[in-house]
Amino acid sequence: MQQDIVIPIVAGIGNGLLAVPLVRLLKQRLPECRITIMAGSHTIGEVFTRLSEVHEVVSCKPGAAGMLTTGLQLRRRRCDIFLIPAPSRRWQYLLMAAGINARRTIMHTYSEQQSLLRRALRFETIPAQRGLHDVQQNLLLLQAFNPTNIPNSPQNEAPIFPLRASDHSAAEDLLQSAGLADSHTKPVIVHAGSAVTALAAAKRWPPQHCNHLLRTLSQRSGRRIILIEGPDEPGLADEIIRVQPVTGVSIIRLRGNLGTSAALLQRAALYIGSDSGLAHLAAAVGTPPVTLFGPADPDRMCPFGYRHLVVQASTQSCRACNRYPWQASYPKITCDRDYACIRDISTNDILEKALPLLQAVDVQKSPDSSPAT
């Protein structure tokens, strides 16, 4: 029997990528289901338009009103299931659920006592488990679908982002515009920004720190460095470069579609950057991401499979103070120290992770590294 399942992804590109394994395994277990993604933006939706498991992607208009309007439009379909991935404590999800009025609404609960509103609306809840990565947390939702007939979900199913020929062509054009099209050595991509969110200021490494990293990395790695700037951070790359002259660094401003960014990231030997959607995108296309974490919990939110490449301040004890979703129903941090957790990350903290990876890449490419015959 076909089931019409709607999955909302509204919190960002990273959250979207972390829900990809859930979507793929859901379709694998219920091959007759029809999956619709309710995306918070066209860019988020692009994560799912590439998946054969997804029947349709519907992009919401901005704001709560846009989510409610889209929900009311989907209401006419009388959806069978509204499935909310982690983290799912935002009030906007309740608004969407009320608008869609699916026969079943399934989501996580983050406390032993379910809210009165969820009980009144008869939402089905799966207890979230502390210590799990959000990819694995999402897979717990599969328990709501004939659990006696469904085998245990694999816990190592990683996010993917399939690339197209047009993505590769657009990425090559970007490299050519930066004078890197003929380079035979993969560059290092550095990203110091993040999307405009409640935690944006607490995620951004100071420009003077990033400038020092660029100069040191260029000298010690001998590679070309690409400093990328996303559409939510115009002017940030110029601000970083103005701190002190840097050689061997090119700026690429990402203004196109997500596929172009993904294909560019795939061409890098390494990504170094903030806790953002681009870090998750790099991981999804196979580029190791060295990711800077401040107030967010890397055990829950780091690029999946790359916990060992997370960088946190080695001398700072205040970290992971984002109270959402366990202690708050919206992103909230308790910082009163001017974001010391991100500011106190040093260049050396990053190079300790990055340089061994680059040396390993060089060893793999060396003709002398082949085993003797």
Please identify, among 101, 122, 149, the residue that sits at the C-terminal boundary of a domain.
Answer: 149
**What is the mean predicted confidence (pLDDT) over 161-175?**
95
Are residues 127 and 17 both part of a single domain? Answer: yes
User: What stretches of the chain adopt beta strand conformation (E)?
Assistant: 4-9, 34-39, 56-59, 81-83, 104-109, 124-127, 188-191, 225-229, 249-253, 270-274, 289-292, 310-311
What is the model's pLDDT at position 89? 77
- Are residues 108 and 209 located together in one domain of the fold? no
Q: Are residues 245 and 353 in the same domain?
A: yes
Q: 32 and 126 share a domain?
A: yes
**Residue 80: how many CA atoms within 13 Å on its side-chain side?**
11
Q: Is the pLDDT of residue 367 over 80?
A: no
Are 135 and 183 members of one domain?
A: no
Averaged pLDDT, 285-293: 96
pLDDT at 231: 85
Domain extent for 285: 166-369
pLDDT value at residue 11: 84
Separation between Cα atoms, residue 79 and residue 208, nearest integer Å: 51
Q: Please report the pLDDT score of residue 115 as a whole number.
A: 63
pLDDT tens per residue across span 99-153: 888 999 999 988 765 665 666 667 898 999 998 999 999 999 999 986 555 555 5
Give the strands of the sheet with 4-9, arranged side by side.
Answer: 56-59, 34-39, 4-9, 81-83, 104-109, 124-127
Number of domains in the chain: 2
- Give the residue-averaged pLDDT of 156-177: 94
Task: Verify that 72 and 185 share a domain, yes or no.
Answer: no
d(CA 253, CA 178): 10
Q: Is residue 157 part of a domain?
A: no
Q: Is residue 155 a part of any domain in this protein?
A: no
Q: Is the pLDDT of residue 363 over 90?
A: no
Helix 347-365 and helix 207-221, axial crossing angle in degrees, nearest 10: 30
Residues of the chain by 3-state class (helix, strand, coil), percent to 5: 40, 15, 45
Q: Which of 149, 184, 217 is the last residue of a domain?
A: 149
What is the value of pTM for the model shown?
0.91
Whether 364 has a pLDDT exceeding 90, the answer reads: no
Domain boundary among 149, 182, 211: 149
- Has residue 161 been placed in a domain? no
Cα R_g (the chain), whole angstroms: 21
91 lies in the same domain as 210? no
**Residue 179 forms part of a structural domain:** yes
Using the predicted structure, report yes or no on whether residue 9 has a pLDDT greater than 80: yes
* Residue 141 and residue 215 share a domain: no
CB 110 within 8 A of CB 118: no
60 assigned to some structural domain: yes
Mark whether 173 and 142 lie in a shared domain.
no
Q: Where do runs of H (alpha helix) occur along 290-371? A: 298-301, 340-343, 347-365
Burial of 247 (0-12, 13-18, 19+ CB in 10 A): exposed
Which CATH number is 364's domain given? 3.40.50.2000
Helices (H) and strands (E) in the chain, counts: 15, 12
Q: Please name which of 44, 5, 11 lies closest in space to residue 25, comparing C-alpha atoms.
A: 5
Predicted pLDDT at 174: 92
Q: Smallest Cα–Cα separation from 201: which of 294, 267, 127?
A: 294
Whether the per-residue pLDDT at 266 is higher than 80: the answer is: yes
Q: Flag whether 145 is in a domain.
A: yes
Structure tokens given for 108: 């996580």
Round the average pLDDT of the chain to a whole number and report it: 86
Q: Greater confidence, 149 or 283?
A: 283
What is the C-alpha separation between 79 and 56, in angstroms, rounded?
A: 13
Instruction: Please give the structure tokens belonging to residue 230.
Output: 């996303």
Instruction: Give the per-residue pLDDT at 337.
Output: 61
Across the beta sheet with 249-253, what order do the strands follow? 249-253, 225-229, 188-191, 270-274, 289-292, 310-311
What is the per-residue pLDDT across 224-247, written as a single tens digit (0 to 9) for each?
999 999 888 889 999 999 999 888
What confidence tens digit (pLDDT) does each residue in 10-47 have?
A: 888 999 999 999 999 999 989 999 999 999 889 999 99
Residue 154 located in a structural domain: no
In a domain, 104, yes or no: yes
pLDDT of 372 above 50: no
Q: Do 352 and 213 reside in the same domain of the chain?
A: yes
Q: Is the peptide bond before 87 cis (omega within 30 degrees of 0)?
A: yes
Task: Say yes or no: 348 and 303 in one domain.
Answer: yes
Q: 339 and 214: one domain? A: yes
pLDDT band at 370 (very low <50, low <70, confident <90, very high): very low
